[in-house]
Amino acid sequence: MDWTAHPPKAQGKLASEPYDRWISPEGVCMAEFHRTDDGFLVRFPHQADFLIGQQGDAYRISAWPTPDCDAPTLGNLYHNQITPILGNHAGGLFLHGSAVLLSASEGSGNVEGVCAFLGLSRGGKTTLAGSFAREGFPFLTEDVIDLRRGDDGYWVQPKRSKLRLFADSARFLLGEHTEIENDNLKQDVDAGGDFPFARQEAPLRQIFLLGTDHQADLSIKRLSSAEALSALLPHSFILDVTDKPRLKAHFGRMADLSQDIACYTLDFARDYAELPRVRRAVLETFSESSS
């Protein structure tokens, strides 16, 4: 999809009322959805407006950042929000999460597969993926999981080769003396020797849904298909919650995923010192399911 970035402008009051909002657990509005004559307008408050015009299966996307929204942030909004929203609207399967490529011994060889981590913003999924990468397990994506279904299962598509980390996580993974431009914003950390990146698609083996209790004891629990479906739905991207046929089709794709892929809850204390234990527990679960 092509998109056009226009010069910055302040966000004025819109004539329409939003038909949907994304609200954070803290009660902050993260996105508003409005209808236009030929499509939609998605507003990210204090960041940018995206106008989406639709002609058949084609989209025309224009973006107006606010004066305080820099080019990298605008690009991240497009790649990590608008693209998966439209992907699901068009019949794809996109989830909000990070993913790493793991391997386990099976018989005389090794089995490789992707583990996906789904969670709310600031829930620790990118930091967890980064900690796996530091241990030599390549990451495929850090915010958007793009799935392609084939006859032999679900395949995770590699996305941009960078991790976006808050300052505290960046310093933990890269070292205390890492230079940070703004401690209040996420930093782009490019893949490299310290953070290997998987450049080829790989089969999805497991999904871990991160718990919201950041003081919880470490535990992993297998979910039933029904439990998994309920847990997965909040982590998908929906453009139009009133489009019943598209919602029904999306629900069907998610139901198939919950039946075909092993899903687990993953609870742990959000303490950097706990990450080695968390990695070992995830690897043990991966090895047991691959044997």
pLDDT tens for residues 195-220?
899 999 999 999 999 999 999 999 99
* pLDDT the model gives residue 52: 96
Cα–Cα distance, 154 to 156 (Å, whole number): 7
Report the pLDDT averaged over residues 66-95.
Answer: 94
Question: What burial class does residue 179 get, using C-beta atoms within 10 Å of its C-beta: 0-12 exposed, 13-18 middle, 19+ buried?
Answer: exposed
Residue 106 clears pLDDT 80, i.e. is over it: no
Report the pLDDT averaged over residues 168-193.
Answer: 74
User: What is the crossing angle of helices 125-134 and 275-290, to 10°?
Assistant: 80
Reported as a pLDDT band with limits 50, 70 and 90, residue 159 is confident
Domain borders along the chain are 3-89, 93-290
Residue 107 clears pLDDT 60, i.e. is over it: no
Confirm if 211 and 274 have CB atoms less than 8 A apart. no
Residues of the chain with pLDDT > 90, as a percent, come to 71
Reported as a pLDDT band with limits 50, 70 and 90, residue 267 is very high
* pLDDT the model gives residue 290: 65
Cα–Cα distance, 168 to 177 (Å, whole number): 11
* pLDDT the model gives residue 24: 85
What CATH number should be reported for the domain whose range is 93-290?
Answer: 3.40.50.300
Reported as a pLDDT band with limits 50, 70 and 90, residue 183 is low
3-state class (DSSP) for residue 60: strand
Considering only residues 267 and 142, tell me which one the structure prediction assigns the higher pLDDT.
Answer: 267
Question: Given its phi and psi angles, is residue 27 left (phi above 0), alpha (psi -120 to 50 degrees) or beta?
Answer: left
Residues of the chain with pLDDT > 70, as a percent, come to 94
* pLDDT the model gives residue 2: 81
pLDDT tens figures, 6-44: 999 999 999 999 999 999 888 999 999 999 988 999 999
Confirm if 266 and 220 have CB atoms less than 8 A apart. yes
Reported as a pLDDT band with limits 50, 70 and 90, residue 171 is confident
Cα–Cα distance, 85 to 238 (Å, whole number): 6
What is the pLDDT of the chain when averaged over all its residues? 90
Considering only residues 241 and 108, tell me which one the structure prediction assigns the higher pLDDT.
Answer: 241
Question: What burial class does residue 283 get, using C-beta atoms within 10 Å of its C-beta: 0-12 exposed, 13-18 middle, 19+ buried?
Answer: middle
- Tell me the pairing of strands 202-210 and 262-267: parallel
Confirm if 108 and 252 have CB atoms less than 8 A apart. no
Report the pLDDT averaged over residues 178-191.
Answer: 71
